[in-house]
Amino acid sequence: MAFVTHRAVRSLSSSAVRSAAIQHITVIGGGLMGAGIAQVAASTGHSVVLVDQSEDILKKSQKGIEDSLKRIAKKKFADKPEAGSEFIEKILKNVSISTDAGSVVHSTDLVLEAIVENLQVKRDLFGGLDKFAPEHTIFASNTSSLPITDIANSTSRQDRFGGLHFFNPVPLMKLVEVIRTPMTSQKTFSALLEFSKALGKQPVSCKDTPGFLVNRLLVPYMVEAIRLHERDHGSKEDIDLAMKLGAGYPMGPFELLDYVGLDTSKFIIDGWHEKDPENPLFAPSPLLNKLVAEGKLGKKTGEGFYKYK
Ligand code: CAA
Ligand code: NAD
């Protein structure tokens, strides 16, 4: 991976799919989600620039992408390790990194943001990039819970603004929620649907409502599990086991909270509580607040509800 602007898109294989409209993408935020999105876009033949605040963070993002590709290559090329290495190398060549978003968006078709879940920070980012990006460039947010309209209003391109909500881990989860606001043009919405398909994902159409479809159901469920535990109605281990064996979920709610990130989960529930304080589903959780205050943010920091090596 190089520290430059967009590279020419390289053809990965005859099966690699590429959106006709969106070819060059800039992903802002190289954390859990941004790195995963960059990986999937690069794997499907798109040219990607991944942007974050420091080179150190971007090095971690690169390592995460490489490790994930190794897991995929190990399965895909079980008997041909050399072909596996070639596969990884080709994909990595489609990803450049940068710490300066303003200087890389001049040649991009899509700016996709996956930074911290904070409305003002996202508005500042897009408001600033609006003047650097070309006219045709679409802006999209991967927000879990914030209104796309409120983010889009920071720019002069509300018609070319939508939501692209991916799921963690991005390389494995098939769904993308494609969100349109009342201002999103049909052309933009269609381009985002097509782009999701070009990534090999299954898109669903969503309106700009809190949590869209999945998180409106999933987040209250996870926070309700914490409340069950806070009331001493069950240990976190038993609740996790119960949901895995009794409901067939791949992870229990505490495992999933750690996987998503406790900071992100807290930002989501606090944001909804602020807007709808009477709704008991959105009430803040003292235990979640305590863990976040202690810096225990889940798997990404080595400890959340559980400890990780
Ligand atoms: N990259 C590449 N491959 C990966 C991977 C990654 N990041 N993670 C796992 N894999 C592969 C592994 O190599 C493994 O393959 P093999 O078994 O063939 O070796 C396979 O996937 C299964 O992995 P594991 O055995 O480690 O674990 P698993 O069987 O439990 O599957 C999982 C992992 C897919 C994450 C599964 O546990 C799961 O679906 N969990 C629920 C995830 C979920 O609900 N995500 C949504 C979160 S909410 C959200 O994202 C929205 C939001 O806004 C907060
Ligand atoms: P994360 O903490 O893993 O990564 C966020 C990254 O953004 C960090 O690397 C940080 O350095 C970077 N960043 C912050 N401000 C920045 C800025 N102004 N410019 C450039 N980079 C900046 O977070 P994440 O879990 O990847 O979540 C990112 C977004 O995706 C959030 O909006 C979150 O709600 C959403 N999301 C998260 C999940 C999940 O399961 N974690 C799933 C879907 C959507």
The pLDDT profile of the chain, 309 residues, written as one tens digit per residue, is: 555 444 433 333 333 444 448 999 999 999 999 999 999 999 999 999 999 999 999 999 999 999 999 999 999 999 999 999 999 999 999 999 999 999 999 999 999 999 999 999 999 999 999 999 999 999 999 999 999 999 999 999 999 999 999 999 999 999 999 999 999 999 999 999 999 999 999 999 999 999 999 999 999 999 999 999 999 999 999 999 999 999 999 999 999 999 999 999 999 999 999 999 999 999 999 999 999 999 999 999 999 999 998
What does the pLDDT read at residue 21? 80
143 alpha carbon – ligand 2 mean position (Å): 9
Atom of ligand 1 nearest to the CA of 214: 51
Is 128 a pocket residue for ligand 2 (Cβ < 6 Å)? no
CA distance 11 to 14: 8
CA distance 30 to 62: 9
Residue to probe by mutation, ligand 2, list 57, 116, 215, 265, most atoms within 8 Å of CB: 116
Active site residues: 144, 165, 177, 215
Q: Is 146 exposed, middle or buried (0-12, 13-18, 19+ CB in 10 A)?
A: buried
What does the pLDDT read at residue 15? 36
What does the pLDDT read at residue 3? 52
CA distance 46 to 303: 35
Pocket of ligand 1 (CB under 6 A): 68, 71-72, 75, 144, 167-169, 171-173, 215, 218, 250-251, 256, 260
Is 55 a pocket residue for ligand 2 (Cβ < 6 Å)? no
Is 29 a pocket residue for ligand 2 (Cβ < 6 Å)? yes
Extract the tokens encoding 33.
């989600």
Protein residue with its CA nearest to atom 15 in ligand 2: 115
CA-closest candidate to residue 72, choices 44, 112, 47, 114: 44
CA distance 192 to 178: 7
CA distance 160 to 131: 14
